[in-house]
Structure 1
Amino acid sequence: MKIQFAPLRIPLERRLQTLGVLQWVFSFLALAQCCLVAFILLLLTDYWLVAVLYVGWLYLDRDTPSSRGRRSAWVRSWAVWRYFRDYFPITLVKTAELDPKHNYLFGFHPHGVLVAGAFGNFCTEATGFSQLFPGLTPYLLMLPFWFRMPFFREYIMSGGLVSSDKESATSILGHPGGGQVAVVAVGGAPESLDARPGSLTLSVQQRKGFIKLVLKTGAQLVPVFSFGENELFNQVENPPGSLLRAVQDKLQKLMGLAIPLFHARGVFQYSFGLLPYRKPIYTVVGKPIPVKQNLSPSHEDIESLHKVYLDELVCLFEGNKAKFGILESSHLLLK
């Protein structure tokens, strides 16, 4: 394989953009493990009392990730997120007004490998969420496992990440007075195994828990499609039925985590590495679907709203695909 090296003379702005994305990839792939090692080392040194006190804090603070977390406007406004945004770049597109008197569930599609669009748009202020949607506070739902990691949990909560358990979502969607947004990557971990350039496969047909949640809380439902999300990384071929896919599916069921074998570019060369490609991401927020509260929704109620949601999601994609570089002949594959 011939390696394509990056030019020596690259503007400082672009180098800072690469650095911004590098720290994000590190945070996503290794920061939790580093925090865990640091905690263990504290226990084994003269600073063991600090670790013990932190364990006490973890116990007292155990419910925070499920009760809208502990966000920090300062962290969400760090300059590094502007460089992160401009690397791709990421653009948040508004198509309808959202009344802050209501709560909303944003169904985010596709998951992609590292949900870059969801993070950039809803865990930072780099794309101007607060200006585009005044009065609304977004929360990105993440697997509860990560909120058990010492120190790491504090960092991710500061950006607006919260636990994806039922109590957490209900706390957001049932908040009195409205103004809260729960962002859910509907396809979840399994969908990341289909994330590769050109893929338009969404794992949504059997995903109905979010529908039941909005029916019980009366929150409005909003489809969100992130064009370019699947263009950021290549992935080792893993078609359904292959040995690799069978192993990945088994691990996902056992651990709750998908392990896509992805690759893209490096820091100083463009031929291999774990940094995403510089591909534009356009995250399009659709129009809200009104939902009448139903504390005991029937199977038919859930199926009916699920169909409406899928129809609106397809309309959102079809109505915007030509603007963002998708061929007219391309269509979503819902599985």
Structure 2
Amino acid sequence: MRVDFVDEVYFAAPQSPLQQFSSASNLQVDESERGAMRLEFAPLNIPLQRRLQTAAVLQWLFSFLALAQCCLAGFLLLLLSDWWIVAVLYAGWLWLDWETPTSGGRRLEWMRRCAVWKLFKDYFPIQLIKTVDLDPKKNYIFGFHPHGVLVAGAFSNFCTEATGFSAQFPGLRPHLLMLPFWFRVPFFREYIMTGGLVSSSKSSLAHLIRRPEGGNVAVIAVGGAPEALDARPGALTLQVKNRKGFIKMALKHGAHLVPVFSFGENELFDQIENPSGSTLRRFQNQLQRIMGVAMPMFHARGVFQYSFGLMPYRKPIHTVVGSPIPVESKPSPTNEDVDSLHELYLQSLNELFDKHKTEYGLDSDRHLNFT
């Protein structure tokens, strides 16, 4: 095994699972050393600010991957301990509060503005780009693309104020929709609601976009869990052709549609190859059908070394919010109405991507692929 210490700024991320270890571009590899395992550790003189950014992303990663399980285990342990009365009282509160995730949630502004999210945003960094002003007297559905592995861009832009959503879109309140499954986990549900996360059920979406005075934004990762299984660097395939539920809801309640494309979202992680029809992909698809959650086998860098791990790469994300598509309310939209608006939405999404792709590092001949 060979061990190198390189500066973080010059680390080149691995490009595929077969390239498990890569070296910085300014390091020369002797011919006799080709094929040797390379471990590239972070130097000791990394600035404190960058270490704090890494810590902020590490706690976010823990929240996504393990906090729900820890909360459930903690609740069960509490129930079996001498403090069982606390668990029983919380269970009573849970029963009384069961509908909150489908009724707008319970956001806390101080949590959304917590300093840790600024560090989180600066790690990549993440930027929110507004193309037009939005009327705060209207309700909106933001179609977020692509899903990515862990929707880092959607979280930073719409569940925190790190990128200045409220300053750019005054009078609007964003709510990122998440699978209902997660709002059934004790304690964990309270944490995720503080940032504005709500259930992705139809009743939850309807509650947001039928608000008479307007001002609500429902953010939907349209590709959902299945799209996460194809999230890898360079991927531009979006699972959106048969995703028309949000279109129908927009028509029923007169919510304006806004396409959002997050450039760089798929560059944060590599995935183990899982082509359609492979054993791994069949297992992932079956798990997704049963539980509703995807299990992408992703990897990137580590905390103290850059060769492997679950920490995302430091790749910039530019989330561009497009122009709204005005939608008139139709309580009983026909299939033709849904198809027509869906086609218009895909056209607007394509135009948004093509207009900004070269500005954010993509070649002019790259195009979106809808499946």
So what's the TM-score if we normalise by structure 1? 0.99
Q: How much does 1:44 deviate?
A: 1.1
Q: What's 2:134 paired with? A: 98
Aligned equivalents of 2:314, 2:150: Cα separation in 1: 14
Q: What's 2:120 paired with? A: 84
Aligned equivalents of 2:72, 2:266: Cα separation in 1: 30
| 2:15 is aligned with 1:3 | no
Q: How much does 1:282 deviate?
A: 0.2
Aligned equivalents of 2:238, 2:347: Cα separation in 1: 13
Structure 2 unmatched ranges of 5 or more:
1-36
| 2:318 is aligned with 1:246 | no
SS in 2 for 1:272: coil
Aligned equivalents of 1:249, 1:327: Cα separation in 2: 32
Amino acid corresponding to residue 275 of structure 2 in structure 1: P
| 2:302 is aligned with 1:263 | no
Aligned equivalents of 1:22, 1:327: Cα separation in 2: 32
Q: What's 1:64 paired with? A: 100
SS in 2 for 1:68: coil
SS in 2 for 1:3: strand
Please list, as runs of the form range in 1=range in 2, the aligned pairs for 1:1-335 lying within 5 A after superposition: 1-335=37-371
| Greater Cα offset, 64-73 or 242-251 | 242-251
Aligned equivalents of 1:93, 1:149: Cα separation in 2: 34
Q: How much does 1:176 deviate?
A: 1.2
Structure 1 unmatched ranges of 5 or more:
none
Amino acid corresponding to residue 98 of structure 2 in structure 1: R
Q: How much does 1:240 deviate?
A: 1.2
Aligned equivalents of 1:11, 1:176: Cα separation in 2: 49
Q: How much does 1:244 deviate?
A: 1.1
Encode CA deviations 1:281-314: one digit per residue, 9 max, x unaligned: 0000000000010000000000000000000000
Aligned equivalents of 2:348, 2:282: Cα separation in 1: 32
SS in 2 for 1:196: coil
Aligned equivalents of 2:306, 2:234: Cα separation in 1: 20
Aligned equivalents of 2:99, 2:135: Cα separation in 1: 29
Aligned equivalents of 1:331, 1:220: Cα separation in 2: 25
Matched residues, number: 335
Aligned equivalents of 1:256, 1:46: Cα separation in 2: 35
Amino acid corresponding to residue 89 of structure 1 in structure 2: P
Amino acid corresponding to residue 287 of structure 2 in structure 1: L
Aligned equivalents of 2:348, 2:230: Cα separation in 1: 22
Q: How much does 1:327 deviate?
A: 1.0
- % same residue: 68
Please tell me whether Structure 1 or Structure 2 has the larger radius of gyration of its CA atoms. Answer: 2
Q: How much does 1:329 deviate?
A: 1.3
Aligned equivalents of 2:185, 2:283: Cα separation in 1: 26
Encode CA deviations 1:126-174: one digit per residue, 9 max, x unaligned: 0000000000000000000000000000000000000000010000010
Aligned equivalents of 1:295, 1:144: Cα separation in 2: 25
Aligned equivalents of 2:75, 2:278: Cα separation in 1: 39
Encode CA deviations 1:92-122: one digit per residue, 9 max, x unaligned: 0000110001000000000000000000000
Amino acid corresponding to residue 261 of structure 1 in structure 2: M
Aligned equivalents of 1:80, 1:2: Cα separation in 2: 32
SS in 1 for 2:39: coil
Amino acid corresponding to residue 110 of structure 1 in structure 2: P
Q: How much does 1:245 deviate?
A: 1.0
Amino acid corresponding to residue 202 of structure 2 in structure 1: K
Aligned equivalents of 1:109, 1:240: Cα separation in 2: 21
Amino acid corresponding to residue 257 of structure 1 in structure 2: V
SS in 2 for 1:31: helix
